[in-house]
Amino acid sequence: MTSRETPWLALCGLILLALFVLVAWAELRPGYAVYQDEFRALVGERFGPERATQAASGLQQIWLASADRVDRCTTCHLGVSWQGLDDLAEPYRTHPLEPLAHHPVEKFGCTLCHGGQGAATELPDAHGWVAHWDDPLLDSQLAEAYRAKDPWLFVQIRCNACHRYDRTLDGAPAIDRGKPGKHQSLEGKVTRISYEIEKGRTTLEVFRNYEKLLTDNGFEPLYACVNKDCNGRAFNHTVVPYWSGFSENYEDQRYVALKKGGPSGDVYVSLYVVRNTSEGGPRHDRIYAQVDVIEIAKMDVGMEVVYDGIRLTPEQIVQSARDEGVHVIGLSILSGSHGVLVLDVLARLEKEGLDLPVIVGGIIPDDDAETLRRAGVRRIYTPKDFDLTRIMGEILDVVAEAEAAG
Query: What pLDDT digit, counting tens, does each position of 348-374 carry?
Result: 999 999 999 999 988 888 888 999 999
Q: Comparing 204-213, 218-227, 338-347, which segment has the lowest mean pLDDT?
A: 218-227
Task: Give domain 314-405's CATH superfamily.
Answer: Cobalamin-binding domain (3.40.50.280)
User: Given pLDDT bands bounded at 50, 70 and 90, which one contains residue 238?
Assistant: very low
User: Checking DSSP bridges between strand 358-362 and strand 329-333, what pairing results, if any?
Assistant: parallel
Q: Which residues pair with 393 in a beta bridge?
A: none
Q: What are phi and psi of 309, to 5 degrees?
A: 95, -165
Pairing of strands 220-226, 252-260: antiparallel
Mean pLDDT, rounded, for 398-405:
86
Task: Return the top range by mean pLDDT from 134-148, 169-183, 296-310.
Answer: 134-148
Residue pLDDT, tens place only, 294-306: 777 555 556 677 7
The HSE-up count of residue 22 (CA atoms within 13 Å, CB side) is: 6
**Where residue 328 falls among pLDDT bands split at 50, 70, 90?**
very high
Q: In this structure, are residues 118 and 70 in contact, taking their beta carbons and an 8 Å threshold?
A: yes
The pLDDT score that the predictor gives to residue 155 is: 76
Lowest average pLDDT, out of 143-152, 199-208, 351-360, 369-378, goes to 143-152
- Laid out side by side, the sheet with 379-381 consists of 329-333, 358-362, 379-381
Q: Greater confidence, 146 or 118?
A: 118
pLDDT in tens, 11-55: 676 777 667 666 555 556 677 888 888 888 988 898 998 888 888
Domain residue spans of the chain = 32-137, 189-293, 314-405
0.85 surpassed by pTM? no
Q: Where are the beta strands (DSSP E) in 24-165?
A: 62-64, 69-71
Residue type, 315: E
Q: For 242-276, what is each residue's pLDDT tens digit?
A: 444 444 445 677 888 888 887 667 888 888 887 76
